[in-house]
Amino acid sequence: MSRASDRAYRKIRSFILSGEVCPGMQLTEERLAEISGVSRTPVRDAVQRLENEMLLVRSASKRLSVADWSDDEIDEMFTLRAMLESHAAERAALRMDADSLRRLREINEGLTRAVSQPEPDVMAFLDANRKFHDLILACAQSPRLSKLLPALVEQPVVRRTANQYSLEDLIQSGTDHDELIAAFAAKDHVWASAVMTSHIRRAFHSFSGATRMADED
C-alpha cells in the first residue's frame, strides 16, 4: 500500500466518520480525490479498504455511497459489539492496574461533567466515551480484539447513537461506566462482562427508540 493510498484512506475515513456526510449519500472518485488531495488511483485503493470495513458500499450499477444499514444490520452490529466488548471487559478486569483504574475514573468524571451542563456537550461526551472504551480495550491486552473491535465501534452508528440519546440516556451511560469501574476495582471479570453487555444493549435500544420516533415524525 503506497503512502498516497494510506493518506487517501485516512482522509476519506475521517470525512465519513466526522458526521459531515449522511448514510446513503453518494460519493464519486473525483470528490474523494478532492477530499484526500491525491489522484484517483490511490483513491481506488482506499475505497477498497473502506468497502471492506463496510463504511462505503457499491450498488449493482457501481455507484459508491456511504453505508446505510438496515434495522437487522444495526441489531447485528450491536450484538457483535456487545459480545466483543464484554469479552474485552472480562479480560481487562483480570489485568487492569491501579494507574489504569485511576485514568478510567478521570475520564468518566470528564464525561459526567460534559452531560451535566445546562446544554450537554455531546462532542465532549463522545470523546470521553471513546477514551473510556479504548482504555478498557488496551487493558484487555488482546491483539485480536484490537483488530476486530474498531471496525464496529468507529462506524458512524456510534456518533448517530450519541446524538440521539436523551439526557437521561447520557447520564445513564456515565452510571454504567461507574459500575464497570467498580467491577474492575473488584477484579470481578464476570461482573465486568455482564455490565458491559448491558451497557451496549442499552445503547442499542436507545438508538432503536430514537430511530422509530424520527421515522414517525
Q: Of 14-18, 77-81, 130-134, 199-203, give the lowest mean pLDDT range.
A: 14-18
pLDDT in tens, 168-182: 888 999 999 999 999
Q: What is the CATH number of the domain that holds 57?
A: 1.10.10.10
Which grid cell sits at 201? 444493549
Q: Which of 19-23, 35-39, 76-80 has the lowest mean pLDDT?
A: 19-23
- The residue count of the chain comes to 217
Between 20 and 197, where is the model more confident?
Answer: 197
Give the span between the Cα atoms of 214 and 217, in whole angstroms.
Answer: 5
Residue 122 sits in the same domain as residue 18: no
Last residue of a domain, one of 66, 92, 117: 66
* Same-domain check for residues 51 and 135: no
- Domain with 28 in it: 3-66
Statement to judge: residues 47 and 117 lie in one domain: no
Q: HSE-up of 77 (CA within 13 Å, CB side)? A: 25
Radius of gyration of the chain (CA): 19
Both 192 and 152 in one domain: the answer is yes
For residue 58, which amino acid is it?
Answer: R
Considering the domain architecture, whether residues 137 and 203 belong to the same structural domain is answered as yes
> Are 87 and 165 part of one and the same domain?
yes
Say how many CA atoms lie within 13 Å of 191 toward its Cβ. Answer: 15
pLDDT greater at residue 60 or residue 211: 60
Q: Do 204 and 137 belong to one domain?
A: yes
Average pLDDT across the chain, whole number: 87
For residue 174, give Cα distances in angstroms to 3, 30, 104: 40, 42, 11
Total of domains in the chain? 2
Residue range 117-158, pLDDT digits in tens: 988 998 899 889 989 999 999 999 999 999 888 777 766 454
pLDDT of residue 169: 87
Q: Is the pTM value of this prediction over 0.85?
A: no
CATH for 136: 1.20.120.530
d(CA 53, CA 46): 11
Same-domain status, 79 and 165: yes
Proportion of the chain above pLDDT 70, given as a percent = 88
In 3D space, the residue among 7, 17, 23, 8 whose CA is nearest the CA of residue 127 turns out to be: 17
Single residue among 43, 66, 89 that ends a domain in this structure? 66
